[in-house]
Amino acid sequence: MIKRSVLTIVFVMLFSHGFSQDFTALAPTPPMGWNSWNRFGCDVDENMIMEMADAMAVNGMKDAGYEYIVIDDCWQVARDSAGNIVPDPERFPSGMKYLADYIHEKGLKFGIYSCAGSRTCQGKPGSRGYQFQDARQYAVWGVDYLKYDWCSNEGQNAEAAYKTMSDALKVCGRPIIFSICEWGESEPWKWAKNVGHLWRTTPDIRNIYEAEINWGGLGIVNIIDQQADLWRYAGPGHWNDPDMLEVGNPGLTEDENITHFSMWAMLSAPLMAGNDLRDMDKDVLEILTNPEVIALNQDPLGNQAIRFLDMGDHEIWVKLLENDELAVCFMNRSQDDWKLKYDWKRINIYHKGAINFSKQNYTIRDLWQHKQLGETEDILKSVIPSHGVLLVHLKMKDK
Ligand code: GLA
């Protein structure tokens, strides 16, 4: 009897250890995909979701690394008499398993949304009290990603509430990425590393360049400002999430889209597209699938960029990459062109060690023009448009 219970304990320990290892290994680099909210809000249905999967599979996004198709709020309408969550029968008549299978057949993964409160932000049933039942249901459907919101939280402790759902996912029998959407209220970067794979750091993003409107949402650069001090909390398996992309949605100019995408790449942010993938300009697709910019976002070291120089309207951000390479983003927040003349040798970069451009020469590559721009021993000259960036990749010359 004693022997058997010891064996059971050992078995459970081995099993749960193996499973939680799988859990932390699920997002070694920032997740990439698409989410319905920014463009469609509550107007979601299975045909539209399948069309997004169709588009992603063939338009170059899947080849560029995009993987998850996530339905945000409003897919769920009730609980049945056994407490099971019920998808909207009019909008999702074929059910969630059918949708998951369809998406998996395209070589993509399937994500869903719920909330730690008893109601979602749009008043649909949340999962408070049903966490383990819901997680098991997601596993049966074939869900690979859960975004978990914080409306109607009824004063719960955030860490405990998210840990409950995390525990439920860890034992549901299927690896599921856990995307914490608590808007940064209780500084999840300090406690969520082993709870989820990514955590929102701010209120919702808006498709505007600059506007500090807090609960009505934040502009792109206001969100960027709020990431500057968080670099130490990001790394493989656990990412700061400055919210989903607005690239391609009305409201941003082409330069602003480029800045938005460049900076999300620099910040090692999850790249969740939020536009209509079925109907996209060539320019927008080129931004979302730029392989050189995606490579720096997906760099295996998982370093989040630091704001190395803040000169008001002009900023310089640096992200350390593997093989002693680095990415540098010159960001122009002003209304005017930035006539850049940058002497690399005048100032060392001190971050996890020192980069001394007087001692070491680097080649410079422009990641939007896809061309070499000389070397760091020379002065870099460029005209950066209003609200635009110059994004470069540096490699040691003699390496
Ligand atoms: C919150 C989240 C958004 C979105 C909506 C859905 O506002 O922060 O990203 O999921 O809820 O209602």
Catalytic residue list contains 54 = no
CATH number, domain at 227? 3.20.20.70
Q: 311 and 279 in one domain?
A: no
In short, whether 134's Cβ falls inside 6 Å of ligand 1 is no
* 362 close to 392: Cβ distance less than 8 angstroms: no
- Residues of the domain holding 270: 2-297
From the list 72, 149, 241, 276, the catalytic residue is 149
In short, whether 181's Cβ falls inside 6 Å of ligand 1 is yes
Q: 161 and 34 in one domain?
A: yes
Q: 152 and 50 in one domain?
A: yes
Q: What does residue 50 show for φ and ψ, rounded to 5 degrees?
A: -65, -35
In short, whether 360's Cβ falls inside 6 Å of ligand 1 is no
- How far, CA to CA in Å, does 82 sit from each of 79, 85, 100, 133, 387? 8, 9, 23, 10, 53
* 244 close to 273: Cβ distance less than 8 angstroms: yes
From 293, 306, 389, select the one nearest 340 (Cα to Cα): 389
Tens-level pLDDT at each residue, the chain (399 residues): 445 555 444 444 444 444 555 787 999 999 999 999 999 999 999 999 999 999 999 999 999 999 999 999 999 999 999 999 999 999 999 999 999 999 999 999 999 999 999 999 999 999 999 999 999 999 999 999 999 999 999 999 999 999 999 999 999 999 999 999 999 999 999 999 999 999 999 999 999 999 988 888 999 999 999 999 999 999 999 999 999 999 999 999 999 999 999 999 999 999 999 999 999 999 999 999 999 999 999 999 999 999 999 999 999 999 999 999 999 999 999 999 999 999 999 999 999 999 999 999 999 999 999 999 999 999 999 999 999 999 999 999 975
Both tokens assigned to 67: 């993987």
Nearest-atom number in ligand 1 for the CA of 183 is 8
Domain boundary among 273, 297, 321: 297
Q: 376 and 278 in one domain?
A: no
Catalytic residue list contains 313 = no
124 CA from centroid of ligand 1 (Å): 12
Q: 357 and 289 in one domain?
A: no
Q: 181 and 272 in one domain?
A: yes
Domain boundary among 267, 297, 327: 297
How far is Cα 299 from Cα 271, in angstroms, rounded to an integer? 13
Domain boundary among 297, 322, 354: 297
Instruction: Give me the pLDDT at residue 212, please.
Output: 86
Q: 166 and 83 in one domain?
A: yes
How far is Cα 166 from Cα 160, in angstroms, rounded to an integer? 10
* 296 close to 367: Cβ distance less than 8 angstroms: yes
Instruction: Give me the pLDDT at residue 16, please.
Output: 47
- Testing ligand 1's pocket by substitution, the residue of 149, 207, 244, 249 carrying the most ligand atoms inside 8 A of its CB is 149
